[in-house]
Amino acid sequence: MTIPLPVRIQAAFLRGVYALPEAARRALAGRPVVVDGQTLALDAQLMLRLQRLSKAALVLPGGVGPSRMALEYGRHLVGGPAIRRVSVRELGIPLEHGELAATLYTPDGLAEGSGLLVFLHGGGWVLGSRASHDHISRFLARRGRVRVLSVEYRRPPEHVFPAAVEDALAAFDYAYTKAADLGADPERIAVGGDSAGGNLAAVTAQTAVRRGGPAPVFQLLLYPAVDASARRRSRELFADGYFLTSENMDWFADHYVPAPADRTDPRLSPLLAEDLTGLPPAYIGTAGFDPLRDEGEAYARALEEAGVQVRLSRQPDLIHGYANYLGAGRRFREATAEAADALRRALDGSVDGSVAGDGGR
């Protein structure tokens, strides 16, 4: 994708703002924001301030097309410079309905037979792509020292529920069957994603376990959507003003599961599955200032009660989508690095500080 000059100028401006002394950044961001006993990180508050000034929004008035394009360009604003020492290979996953595009990310120097993460991007099922989440995929590959297979699942409104669920499961099956061709160990394959991608990863893990046979060995769930049937307290607390809004969530759900779909279906609301036993260990990252915070944490509790090994990590000072802001200050990258380190420990049992210490750059 050719980056338009205005986007390059905005990216340079953003870098300049985040390079200002803390006092100047605080003056731009405004007084500290405290909600529910949590203080919003300066990096996050400054990002929200800049978004308001530029009238940026997750869902634009023009609908699906302009909103998708804005998210694609947004990564060049907030994702930071390209992460080095990661090779990329484009793949096609054959399916009954055609070929599913995917990208394999491999950090330099990684031996054959490594762990592999099947990554499912966020964007409310409607927005987002492998391209919009290229920075996250590279970061997880580099910092986590794993191969990452990022998948271009079908999106609504062109393809409604459960098309994305079917594609996510097919991508895991492909990764398992073709592990040797991908340079991966079939016994060390994880599923993961952010937001809607976290939803698809959780559903994939449940479906694979319940059918019997190959299943993921780990789940990396970043601020996942796990219950479309209820509105919890965090959705009311952070309904507006923190980028992802309650109105956005309704818009996404209406596109993905138009009426009369059953929003209690566990393939949409994995928190409502009758049986959560036997699922793979999970890292669940939530953000304090996120409408989805409480349902993600409810899922962590439900997994733990079912005997599943879970690490719940609330980032109390951050907003939804924090893994997308790797180039904005330090705090977003720190939170995402924690998730990548958890992935690495889960798939190879160690963290080499000399490599992890480079921040995944």
Query: Which residue in the list 129, 132, 137, 195 is annotated as catalytic?
Result: 195
| Helix and strand counts by DSSP (H, E) for the chain | 13, 10
pLDDT at 215 exceeding the cut of 60: yes
Q: Is 113 left (phi over 0), alpha (psi -120 to 50) or beta?
A: left
Mean of pLDDT values over 151-175 = 98
Contact status, residue 11 vs residue 325, Cβ threshold 8 Å = no
Q: Is 120 helix (H, G, I), strand (E, B) or coil?
A: strand
Quote the DSSP letter at residue 139: H
**pLDDT tens-digit profile of 115-149?**
999 999 999 999 999 999 999 999 999 999 999 99
pTM of this structure: 0.95
pLDDT at 83 exceeding the cut of 80: yes
Whose tokens are 């209820």? That residue is: 230
Predicted confidence at residue 353, as pLDDT, reads 34
Angstrom distances, CA of residue 42 to CA of 18, 51, 287, 289, 328: 10, 14, 14, 13, 11
Quote the DSSP letter at residue 102: E
Is 320 an active-site residue?
yes
**pLDDT tens-digit profile of 88-105?**
999 999 998 899 999 999
Contact status, residue 39 vs residue 315, Cβ threshold 8 Å = no
DSSP secondary structure, 69-88, as one string:
HHHHHHHHHHS-SPPSSEEE
Query: Which residue in the list 43, 185, 290, 294 is annotated as catalytic?
Result: 290
**pLDDT tens-digit profile of 268-322?**
999 999 999 999 999 999 999 999 999 999 999 999 999 999 999 999 999 999 9
**Rounded CA separation 41/331 (Å):** 8
Q: Find all residues with CB under 8 Å of 180, minimum gap 6, and list them.
A: 186
Count the neighbouring beta carbons within 10 Å of the beta carbon of residue 240: 11
Domains belonging to the chain, first-starting first, are 5-74 (no CATH), 83-356 (3.40.50.1820)
Q: Is the peptide bond before 316 cis (omega within 30 degrees of 0)?
A: no
Quote the percentage of the chain above a pLDDT of 70: 96
Predicted confidence at residue 1, as pLDDT, reads 57
pLDDT band at 360 (very low <50, low <70, confident <90, very high): low
**Strands 184-194 vs 147-151: parallel, antiparallel or unpaired:** unpaired
Predicted confidence at residue 7, as pLDDT, reads 81
Give the DSSP H or E segment for 89. Answer: strand 86-95
pLDDT band at 174 (very low <50, low <70, confident <90, very high): very high
Contact status, residue 67 vs residue 58, Cβ threshold 8 Å = yes
**pLDDT tens-digit profile of 328-357?**
999 999 999 999 999 999 998 543 433 333
Predicted confidence at residue 356, as pLDDT, reads 38
Query: Which residue in the list 133, 135, 255, 320 is annotated as catalytic?
Result: 320
Quote the percentage of the chain above a pLDDT of 90: 90
pLDDT at 188 exceeding the cut of 70: yes
Sign of CA dihedral 110, 181, 211, 202: positive
